[in-house]
Amino acid sequence: MNVKDQILKILPKPANQIKIAHIITAVNKQKKKDYYYREIKAMQDVDFDVKEIDLEGKTEQELKSLLTKKDIIYVQGGNTFWLLKHVRSSGFDKIIKELLDQGVIYIGVSAGSYIACPTIEMSLWKKEQPEVFGLTDFTGMTLVPFLMSVHYKPEYAEILKPHIIKSKYPVKVLTDQQAILIKDNSYQLVGMGEEIKL
């Protein structure tokens, strides 16, 4: 079963009654945005009620108001450092914990999954040199007790292994066809293919 089907399966009500807050902040610092347009189309295809929200420049109070009565908070991928900077400045990191306690579903894609971890250091593991926008503290929101390394391809295996060995947290490696479904304290790999062990 693919990831999209797994998401549809866990919805608390029909797709056309689901309200999504689509956090697009990480996209704003990306030159290529085809992935973003693909995901918008996928949400439209299943008839979700989607509101795009940029965290940049928002106060905690404004953000609380925008995220109220949403069923899903969908945090889009892009530049992880830019995203984390505005997760902190807007108070999103505090608000999301309250929303999760109320039963709201969090979906993090790429950068959106990295910020849910204890640190976003994985964004530097593939020897890319992303713009970090002045961030020196890479602490994430710690919504999960492990790290994720996403967009895995076999050629990344030797690059990732030393980082995984040195990490003080367990690391879950995911391809673009995989996700981790978390409910209460249980974790389940969903999507296509076996779990990647490095």
pLDDT digits (tens, 9 = 90+) for 36-50: 898 889 899 999 999
Strand residues in 39-146 grouped as ranges (E): 49-53, 72-75, 105-108
Task: Provide the percentage of residues in the chain whose pLDDT is more than 90.
Answer: 82
Is residue 41 packed enough to be buried (19+ CB in 10 Å), middle (13-18) or exposed (0-12)? exposed
- Residue 92 has a pLDDT of 99
Q: Which residue has the higher pLDDT, 15 or 30?
A: 15
Coil vs helix vs strand at 187:
strand
Query: Does residue 4 carry a pLDDT above 80?
Result: no
What tens digit of pLDDT does each residue of 67-123 get?
Answer: 999 999 999 999 999 999 999 999 999 999 999 999 999 999 999 999 999 999 999
Q: What pLDDT shows up at residue 94?
A: 97
Q: Which residues contact 57 (CB under 8 A, 6 or more apart)?
A: none
Q: How far apart are CA 99 and CA 70, in angstroms?
A: 9
**How high does pLDDT run on average in the chain?**
94
Tell me the C-alpha distance between 68 and 135, whole Å. 29
C-alpha distance from residue 52 to each of 19, 59, 75, 120, 155 (Å): 11, 16, 10, 24, 35
Gyration radius from the chain CA atoms? 16
> How high is the pLDDT of residue 31?
83
Share of the chain above pLDDT 70, in %: 98
Give the tens place of pLDDT for each residue, 163-172.
999 999 999 9
Q: Taking the domains of the chain in order of start, what are their residue ranges?
A: 3-189
What's the pTM?
Answer: 0.94
Domain 3-189 fold is Rossmann fold (3.40.50)
